[in-house]
Amino acid sequence: MRALTLILFLAIAGLLAAMGSVFVVNESQTAIVLNLGRVVRSNLDPGLHFKWPLVEEVRKFDQRILSLDDAPERYLTAEKKDVSVDFFVKWKIDDVAAYYRAANGGNEEAARQRLTPIVKNALRNEINQRTLQEVVSAGRAELSGSLLDQVNAGAATLGIEVVDVRIKRINLPEDSTILDTVYGRMRTERTQVANQLRAEGVEQSETIRSEADRQRQVTIAEAERDAQKLRGEGDARAAEIYAAAYGGDPEFYAFYRSLEAYRNSMADGQTVMVLDPDSEFLRYFGNDKR
């Protein structure tokens, strides 16, 4: 009976020992093996692994890409103007042993707390070297690219690889006087553009008006020239007709001219004339006895 109990005990102990010596690392994980608190194996690949039971301990860590999204930070540009920068970081564990030592036993929150100042210092260095216009207009991709090398240089001591640093927003702080300065400059620039466009419009208007006036004068002069030509041709033709008509009957021509003289001299109806009754001017008044 005692032998059976001993055998059963040894079988259970062996089973527990076997179970305690085997562990599995998932595809999304990496692991380290600690021997009495000292790292003896690290960066274990996914799969089945063995360890000494009771003596060795396994710590598993997420090897997927993790995010760091902190509150917006205020920085000074090269001309000492405030900007508020909102950013996020994508990172993953690169050296699990260094990560375990640097992050208080691989605590993810502790790793974020140590990574945040590294990113902020690199971002501060980049923005301090740029003017406000360069920060806003240079492009977030260019700024993020230059940040990545600096951040990875500092994050290497944490066993972390920073995959990407992205700028979400670059804003002007609401409590900063820079807003008034920027808006004032924008208004000035828009006013200059408006004045320039207005001046160009006035110039074009004057050019068009001058050209229209010139065309008007040319048209009027040509019309007057043609009118004078036609009038002259008409007068010549009329004179020719009159000459032909009057030449055919001289007495009628004399009578007609006398009537014209009477009408012109008495047109206003108030003309008083003192003439000799035998005057040639009155030859067609009354009966001609000659």
CATH number of residue 161's parent domain: 3.30.479.30
Do 70 and 121 reside in the same domain of the chain?
yes
Q: Quick one: 158 and 84 in the same domain?
A: yes
* Section 48-74 average pLDDT: 81
Most confident of 23-32, 48-57, 140-149: 23-32
- pLDDT tens-place string over residues 203-237: 999 999 999 999 999 999 999 999 999 988 898 88
User: Is-contact 27 52, C-beta < 8 A?
Assistant: no
Inside any domain, residue 223: yes
10 Rama class: left (phi>0) / alpha (psi -120 to 50) / beta: alpha
For residue 160, count CB atoms less than 10 angstroms from its CB and return exposed for 0-12, middle for 13-18, buried for 19 or more: buried
Domain annotation covers residue 134:
yes
Asked, for residue 100, whether it belongs to a domain, the answer is yes
Judgement on whether residues 154 and 73 belong to the same structural domain of the protein: yes
Look at 287 and 209; give whichever has higher pLDDT.
209
Region 275-283: mean pLDDT is 65
Residue 288 included in any domain: no
Residue 12 has pLDDT above 80, yes or no: no
The two structure tokens encoding residue 253? 């021509």
Do 79 and 171 have their domain in common?
A: yes
Contact 61, 96 (CB under 8 A): yes
Q: Is residue 290 part of a domain?
A: no
The candidate with the shortest Cα–Cα distance to 115, out of 61, 168, 67, 62, is: 67
Q: What is the pLDDT of residue 289?
A: 46
Burial of 90 (0-12, 13-18, 19+ CB in 10 A): middle
Give the separation between CA 147 and CA 121, rounded to whole angstroms. Answer: 10
What is the total residue count of the chain?
Answer: 290
Residue 148 and residue 70 share a domain: yes
256/234 same-domain check: no
Tell me if 185 is assigned to some domain. yes
The reply to whether 79 and 35 lie within a common domain is no
**Domain of 223, in residue numbers:** 177-248
Backbone φ and ψ of 173, nearest 5°: -60, 140
What number is the average pLDDT over the span 23-45?
81
131: in domain:
yes
Quick one: pLDDT at residue 14? 56
pLDDT (tens digit per residue) in 147-202: 888 888 888 888 889 888 887 887 776 655 655 666 777 788 888 999 999 999 99
Among 17-31, 54-68, 246-260, 273-287, name the one with the lowest average pLDDT.
273-287
Whether the per-residue pLDDT at 83 is higher than 50: the answer is yes
- Above pLDDT 90, what percent of the chain? 11
Q: Is residue 138 part of a domain?
A: yes
Which residues have C-beta within 8 Å of that of residue 121, sequence separation ≥ 6?
Answer: 154
Task: Count up the domains in the chain and report the number.
Answer: 4
pLDDT value at residue 180: 66
- What does pLDDT average to over the chain? 79
How high is the pLDDT of residue 290?
44
Q: What percent of the chain has pLDDT over 70?
A: 78
pLDDT at 218: 92
Cα Rg, the chain, nearest whole Å: 56
CB-side neighbour CA atoms (13 Å) of 187: 6
Classified as helix, coil or strand, 192 is: helix
Tell whether 90 and 54 lie within a shared domain: no
Cα dihedral sign for 186, 187, 190, 195? negative
